[in-house]
Every structure is written in structure tokens, then in C-alpha cells.
Structure 1
Amino acid sequence: MQESVFCMVVSRTRLIQAIACFLSLYKTMDNFKVYILCVDEKCYEFLKKINFDKIVLVTISELNREDLLAIKASRKLNQYCWTLKPGFIKYILTLEESIKRVTYIDSDLFFYQNPNVIFENQPYDSVLLSSGEVFLPMYSKEVNNTIQSLTGNFNSGFISFKKDIDGLSCVNWWDKMCVDSCTSNPEDNKFGDQKYLDDMPFLFNNVYEITTQGVNIGHWNSSKYKFTVLNDTIMVNNNKLIFYHFSGFRIISKYDIRQVHEQDRVNTPFIYQIYRRALEKIINDVEKIDPDFKGYFTVDAVDDN
């Protein structure tokens, strides 16, 4: 039985990226399990058809949460997916006695090294938070500081909870806060599910930032790093890249894959082109399985987080 497991919330618009994320875990890990909360029937039916090993599919109804079902109609898809995140983590923590740690991963993560090193480096910490440090050199220090204060000091794309009193207390609180509010615009000291993370180290014991390097780098700070290859290993500065957060990628079609947050950037990391090619290959494979597959963003929805 797996003591440490991963989980994801996936809708049909994120299905291609989620498959890319799964496959990157298959390549970097020998033994793992991912629980997938399927937000819509299309997502569930397609993943069921593929029948990936090491993946457990869950529907929203299985959570037995009337409050989560009740607010679905009142929230945009992206906001609703954020809302579901802590509730799904709670569900898995209480699912099996053997599960001792649950780590949430966004569908737009891509792994280059085995992420278990993160937990090995901090085995006694109940909650592990990913840095959300903002480093955008095209803007002034003041603008960077403003963005940081609005979006928070941590990024919720990779967050890990142990099944102990501190981990459970923290995720219970986060769940209640997200049900109350999960706005997509920074306001009233809130921002989606993410700004709440700033309060966790102060409200709960044993909550720490991840110390392992090469973790959860994204468009908000990638300019801080030099990306190179050493002995077939992708490096960021002098550390192995464990995983990159491809936040901002939107798949409109096989021929239209956009990075909406970096449209004016000239020198993007070389891993962007590798990631695009991986997505294109997955789309080709998916269309062979389902020629009518239409699980893409619409042009009108590309700006949704």
C-alpha cells in the first residue's frame, strides 16, 4: 500500500496537460499513486477508457459533500476547481488507513526528477508549501512587491499534507475558507485558494516552505534561473529541475497552444518547446482513441486561470 500519494482536480479543458503530468511521473517514479477528481463526465469517461495504471478516478458525488455540490453553479470552472482542492485532499486523507501523506499537484506540472526527494528532505514537517516568489525583471521592484502581496507568498500548485493533527487541522481550515470564497481576482486579501496559504504558518504548527531546490518554478520567477542540460539532466542554475509549473498554457487546438502570461516574452526557457511537443503528441494519441475529442479551451476562456 502507498503511504504517500498524489491527487489532482481535472476538468476536460485540462485533460491533455493532466496526461502529460501523469506520464512525467511514470518516467521519474517507479512506485506512486495519483487520485484524480474528475470535475465533469467527459473527463471521467475518457480517463476510464484509457485505464492508466497507478491512477484512481473519483467523481464529485463520491466526496459526499452537499456544500461543494451546492456552490458549483455559482462559480466559474477555474474557481470551482480551486474550491474542490482542499476538500479532495481531506477525502483522500481519510480514505485508507495506510495513507500517511497526500500531495496535491496541479495538472500543468511536469516532472523531470523523482519528487520524493522533497519529502525525504523534510520528513517531519506536517505541511509543505511551495514558494511563490515573484521575480519579473520587466517590472519595477515596487510592481513586483505589489503582485507578490496580491497573489501571496506561496503557490498552491504543489502542496503536501501529512495525516497528523497539524496537517489535518490545516487542511480542514483551508477547506472552509475555500468554500466561503475562491475569487479569481485578488481582492480583500484573498486570491483563489492561494492567498490563504500565507496564513498557514502562523495559524498552525509544523507548516514549512519546501527547502529542496528546483521545485515549482513558473512564469512568475523563471527569469531568475538559467536552464541548462548536464549529462541529460535539466538543471536550473546549479540544481536539478525536479518539476516545472507550466501555468498559463492554454490548448485551443492541436495547432494553437498558447502561453497567455508570457505573450511578449522573447527568451522563454527551452523546456517550453519540449513541453509543447509533448502536448502535441498526446493530442495526436488522444484523437486516435477519441476522434471527436474536444476537450480544449475556447478562445473566449483563454484568460481564465
Structure 2
Amino acid sequence: MLKFCTLFNSAYLSRGLAMYNSLEQHCDDFHLYIVAFDEDCYDALLALQLSHASVIALKDFENEALLAVKMGRTPTEYCWTCSSSAIKYCIETYQLDHCTYVDADLLFFNNPKVLYDEMGDKSVLITKHRFTPCFDQSATSGVYCVQYLTFKNTLEGMTALNWWVDACLEWCFCRMEDNKFGDQKYLDDWTARFKGVHELKHLGGGVAPWNVQQYAFKRVAGKIRGTEFFSNNNFDLVFYHYHAFAYTWNNSYRLTNEIYPLNRNQIRHIYKPYVLALLKAEKTIGALGEHVRAYKRTEEGIWINRVIGRWAVFFLKGFYKQYYSKRFFQYGIFN
């Protein structure tokens, strides 16, 4: 059985449920441990009665060390601080042989067992950003991404994990300082610092807005297949990281940060499935009652409304730059 953990609050409820549903669709045998970062999220997840998940209340997860640093960090920084501690908590509390941390804004397209199997006898799995060169932020954001990483309950695995937990408790902020950034740049030297660390090779693990430009996608026998332009290597897409995806004004979405270009191929094969997965999750959450919030809407993109030309393009086409209407995915050219 594959064991995963994640953490999110009610603002990410639909995204977290979509991620869980995708695991349930593609993974034969798994369990997901969810640290609910607010009471509304905890109550909703319990009400959903997810058969392959355990829901952990924030008050049960937090320890003295975390509470001691909580007030000095922003909500985002505290979330980053808790990622490593969540893995440790799950391994120790539930006596797991391994645990894989996954960001709540992932969607699985294939069984992630292939990623675990690639580790072999190694104890830690880390994933590179694999930045497209023009977007390379390794110096500031880190070589590796805290989006999907596995620790086995071995001496090597727990040595690395305990070091990371302590490092994040000591310093985890949204700024560059002494070659540190958040919880992420700590990973830069792990292949040299620790024994038993494996850098993921499978191209289907870790596709994200900062590297998706390197690939073309198509549907083959019900699966999304990618082709790397540089090598012409083919791979099955295992998961995609929907970094900076946001619910915005007027039933619309910002697909990602505006610096990352997306083409029709990527929107058709990667972003449309995500929007449909979110709509399914929202419907499930909506059945719990009107009082349950599935997501938090931002004011991103409202500037489109302020210029009639932009608004006209958005209204007629269903999109403008990185902003797409819900109806575009439901009734647009990809249907």
C-alpha cells in the first residue's frame, strides 16, 4: 500500500478532494493522511467519509515546537514549516513504513506506484523542478520542489527527515536568506549531505507550469502521454502540479502565473481535466450544505473588466491571457 500525506485548509477543499479522487481513480491500494488546517475543513472532510483517508485535526497535529514558531510566521510560511513535520507525524503516529508528502494542488493521471518503485532500496525520493531554461529559478526557489517527496521509515530516511524538520522549525520564511528559501532550498544538497537519496528520473512526475513548455501531450489508450521535445522520449504523465491556479471573478480561473505560457495542447490535456475534476469535487462538497465552502475566490483578473476591449475578447472567446471562464471548459472548443 502507498501511504501519502498532505495538508490544506477550507480554501483548498475542492483542490484537495480533486487530488484525493484522482488517487482513488488511478491507485489500486493507497491511504491519504490529511492534516486539516482549519475546523471547517476538518468537519467537511469527516462528513465526506473518504474511504481511503484519515483526517487529522490541526490541534492534534501541532506540537510545542510548531506552536512556538507559529505566531512569527505568515500562514503560508507556517504551512511550509509544517510539511516536514506532517510526514514525521504520520510515520510515527501510524507506524508507517514510508510516507509521501503531496501538495494539495496536484492531480494524478496515472498510478504513482511507478515513482515509488523507481526508488529501489533508496530511502528518500526528491523531485527536481526541471525548469525550462528561460524560467530557471533554481538559485532562489531551489533545485528541487517540495511537491512530492517520499521518506521511508529507515535510519537513512529518518535521519534526513529529522534534519529537515529541525531546519524548518529554526528558519522557514518566504524570502532568500543565507542560501535558504522556505522549506525548499534545504533540499539542494541532499544527494551529497545524506545517504540513500534518489532524484526522480521519471519525466511524468513533476510536470508543472515552469517546465510544461518542454513537452507535448496526447491521449493514448485512455492515458495522457507526454513527449519531451529535446530527447523525443515518451512518458506517461503521472501527476501535474497546478501551481498558482486560482478561482477568480465571474466564474473564471487563472490557470497559473502569467509568466508561464500555456498552449492549447497543454490546456486541452492537462487543464481541462483539472477544471472538470474541481467541478466534480465542488458538487460533492455542495451536497454537504450551502454553509460549506469549497474554495476561496480571489480578485485576480478583475482588471480585464475595466477595459472594454479586454472584456469583449474574454466574453467572446472565453479566455484572456491566463484567465479562462468556466463555460470555456464546459462548452468551448475542446468539447
TM-score of the aligned structures, taking structure 2 as reference length? 0.81
2:238 matched to 1:239? no
Change (3 A) 1:92 1:106: same
For the Cα contact (< 8 Å) 1:17–1:108, is it kept in 2? yes
- Report the CA distance between 1:299 and its aligned residue: 2.6
2:208 matched to 1:209? no
Moved more, 263-272 or 16-25: 263-272
For the Cα contact (< 8 Å) 1:254–1:280, is it kept in 2? no
Moved more, 262-271 or 108-117: 262-271
Residue in structure 1 matched with residue 315 of structure 2 by the alignment: none
Moved more, 230-239 or 251-260: 251-260
- Report the CA distance between 1:73 and its aligned residue: 2.6
Number of residue pairs aligned between Structure 1 and Structure 2 = 292
**Inter-partner Cα distance in structure 2 for 1:175 and 1:301:** 34
**Inter-partner Cα distance in structure 2 for 1:231 and 1:11:** 36
**Inter-partner Cα distance in structure 1 for 2:163 and 2:188:** 13
For the Cα contact (< 8 Å) 1:93–1:101, is it kept in 2? yes
- Report the CA distance between 1:219 and its aligned residue: 0.5
2:121 matched to 1:115? no
Secondary structure of the 2:30 match is coil
Change (3 A) 1:5 1:264: closer
Matches within 5 A, 1:78-93: 78-93=76-91
Query: Rg larger in 1 or in 2?
Result: 2
- Report the CA distance between 1:201 and its aligned residue: 1.6
The equivalent position to 1:30 in structure 2, one of 17, 28, 31, is 28
**Inter-partner Cα distance in structure 1 for 2:185 and 2:298:** 28
Residue in structure 2 matched with residue 251 of structure 1 by the alignment: 247
Residue in structure 2 matched with residue 168 of structure 1 by the alignment: 158
2:209 matched to 1:219? yes
TM-score of the aligned structures, taking structure 1 as reference length? 0.89
The equivalent position to 1:77 in structure 2, one of 67, 75, 78, is 75
Secondary structure of the 1:273 match is helix
Secondary structure of the 1:9 match is strand
Secondary structure of the 1:117 match is helix
**Inter-partner Cα distance in structure 2 for 1:263 and 1:183:** 23
Give the AA of the match of 1:248: A
For the Cα contact (< 8 Å) 2:249–2:300, is it kept in 1? no
**Inter-partner Cα distance in structure 1 for 2:237 and 2:128:** 15
For the Cα contact (< 8 Å) 1:219–1:262, is it kept in 2? no
In structure 1, runs of 5+ residues without a counterpart are none
Secondary structure of the 1:33 match is strand
Change (3 A) 1:120 1:254: farther
Residue in structure 2 matched with residue 284 of structure 1 by the alignment: 283
**Inter-partner Cα distance in structure 2 for 1:27 and 1:124:** 27
- Report the CA distance between 1:118 and its aligned residue: 1.2
For the Cα contact (< 8 Å) 1:150–1:187, is it kept in 2? no
Give the AA of the match of 1:21: M
Change (3 A) 1:300 1:170: farther
- Report the CA distance between 1:79 and its aligned residue: 1.4
> For residues 132-164 of structure 1, what are the alpha-carbon distances to aligned partners after superposition, in whole Å with 9 as ceiling and x for unaligned?
12105xx4xxxx44x221111111100000111
Secondary structure of the 2:287 match is helix
> For residues 28-81 of structure 1, what are the alpha-carbon distances to aligned partners after superposition, in whole Å with 9 as ceiling and x for unaligned?
012110111111111101101111001001123223511212322332222111
2:134 matched to 1:132? no
Give the AA of the match of 2:293: K
- Report the CA distance between 1:234 and its aligned residue: 0.3
Q: CA RMSD in A?
A: 2.1
2:274 matched to 1:275? yes
Secondary structure of the 1:71 match is helix
2:283 matched to 1:293? no
Give the AA of the match of 1:274: P
**Inter-partner Cα distance in structure 2 for 1:266 and 1:128:** 28
